[in-house]
Amino acid sequence: MKFLDQAKIYVKSGDGGDGVVAFRREKYIEFGGPDGGKGGRGGDIVFVAASNLNTLIDFRYTQHFRARKGGNGAGSDRTGAAAAPVVIQVPIGTQIFDEDRETMLADLDEPGKRIVLCHGGDGGHGNAHYKTSTNRAPRRADKGWPGEERWIWLRLKLIADVGLLGLPNAGKSTFLSVVSAARPKIADYPFTTLHPQLGVVRLSVSEEFVIADIPGLIAGAHEGAGLGDRFLGHVERCAVLLHLIDGAAGDVVKAWRTIRHELEAYDPGLAAKPEIIALNKIDAMTPQQISSRRRALEKASGAKVVTLSGVTRQGLDDVLRLLQDEVTAIREAERDEAPPAATQWPEPTP
């Protein structure tokens, strides 16, 4: 399945049904009066977050969504039928933006979350609505109200607990394939990863977290170099960032500063997230190189640096335990800060 995280679509809710002009004509009733009914309501455009989707690829082939018009009114004061809503399923984590790509209209970040983006038009009144004591036989009926229409952008931001960052060939895909059941493409050339990958890490029966691997960043990514920084949106929802640095490449401090600069240029809020720095590929370095490059990183970043090897699995267990503890602590703090849910009172018994 191809991965697509942005799509532009057109949506239009249904127009309201028309009201009608009608009069009651019945034997032995001289003055039946007006009885034209109003039109039915047009269909809504509804977006729902579905847990069984993980890409927006369907919107590459279907880009226009229109709801049906409401039914017209009829005699005997009958209201037209309301049109059914058009329900559009999107992956969890999808954000809906206006055509300017800046105004966010909705954020579907929970399974089953629904939003009515375009409301259907109301039905027009029939002539029975305009009957008064002075106007006993109105011949006025209204057209239905038009529905809403707009072009919108859908942007998918994956829901993950840990975000993998690093330069190309830092060992991110190898790390993901070793600690989870994900099978990303792995090769000895840069930009092997062309779209985000997700993997689930299970430490025990009750402990697990989701890792998101995004394409590598290079200097100038915020200006469009390489694959750009667009994929950084997929780690915005993460609780903690795991910054993998290729220790065998040489200047580890420069590599760390390059990624930090791109994070700051993209979003200072993302750069402020908790970060765990990991010196990778220690199987390709001597003990003296590991020690010196680790000290250089700790001096430049002011944080503790962990070491690991995705190939030999050296240090992986300690890194995964550290990630699990960080994710658990941050998610518990977020739950404590969240406002209490509204009390659901039982329905009154008739």
Residue 323, helix vs strand vs coil: helix
Q: Please indicate if the annotation marks 62 as binding a ligand.
A: no
Q: Please indicate if the annotation marks 195 as binding a ligand.
A: yes
Q: Please indicate if the annotation marks 174 as binding a ligand.
A: no
Q: Please indicate if the annotation marks 215 as binding a ligand.
A: yes
Q: Please indicate if the annotation marks 191 as binding a ligand.
A: yes
Q: Please indicate if the annotation marks 168 as binding a ligand.
A: yes
Q: Please indicate if the annotation marks 234 as binding a ligand.
A: no
Q: How far apart are CA 57 and CA 89, in angstroms?
A: 12
Angstrom CA distances, 201 to 86, 93, 216, 319, stand at 37, 20, 21, 12
Q: Please indicate if the annotation marks 213 as binding a ligand.
A: yes
Contact 185, 173 (CB under 8 A): yes
Q: Please indicate if the annotation marks 193 as binding a ligand.
A: yes
Question: Which residue pairs from 57-61 have beta carbons closer than 8 angstroms and sit at least 24 positions apart in sequence?
Answer: 57/1, 57/2, 57/3, 57/4, 59/4, 59/7, 59/9, 59/154, 60/4, 60/7
Q: Please indicate if the annotation marks 147 as binding a ligand.
A: no
Q: Please indicate if the annotation marks 214 as binding a ligand.
A: yes
Q: Please indicate if the annotation marks 172 as binding a ligand.
A: yes
Q: Please indicate if the annotation marks 18 as binding a ligand.
A: no
Residue 96, helix vs strand vs coil: strand
Point out which residues pair with 107 in neighbouring strands: 95
Question: Which residue pairs from 309-312 have beta carbons closer than 8 angstroms and sit at least 24 positions apart in sequence?
Answer: 309/280, 309/281, 309/282, 309/283, 310/171, 310/174, 310/175, 310/178, 310/280, 310/281, 311/174, 311/281, 311/283, 312/283
Q: Please indicate if the annotation marks 135 as binding a ligand.
A: no
Q: Please indicate if the annotation marks 167 as binding a ligand.
A: yes
Q: How far apart are CA 262 and CA 231, in angstroms?
A: 12
Q: Please indicate if the annotation marks 194 as binding a ligand.
A: yes
Q: Please indicate if the annotation marks 166 as binding a ligand.
A: yes
Residue 156 backbone dihedrals phi, psi, to 5 degrees: -95, 125
Q: Please indicate if the annotation marks 17 as binding a ligand.
A: no
Q: How far is CA 208 from the centre of its chain?
A: 21
Point out which residues pair with 212 in neighbouring strands: 163, 198
Contact 39, 124 (CB under 8 A): yes
Token pair recorded at residue 329: 């602590």
Q: Please indicate if the annotation marks 171 as binding a ligand.
A: yes
Q: Please indicate if the annotation marks 119 as binding a ligand.
A: no
Angstrom CA distances, 211 to 235, 237, 330, stand at 9, 11, 15
Instruction: Mark the binding-site residues for Mg(2+), compressed into ranges.
Output: 173, 193
Instruction: Mark the binding-site residues for GTP, compressed into ranges.
Output: 166-173, 191-195, 213-216, 280-283, 309-311
Instruction: Mark the binding-site residues, compressed into ranges.
Output: 166-173, 191-195, 213-216, 280-283, 309-311
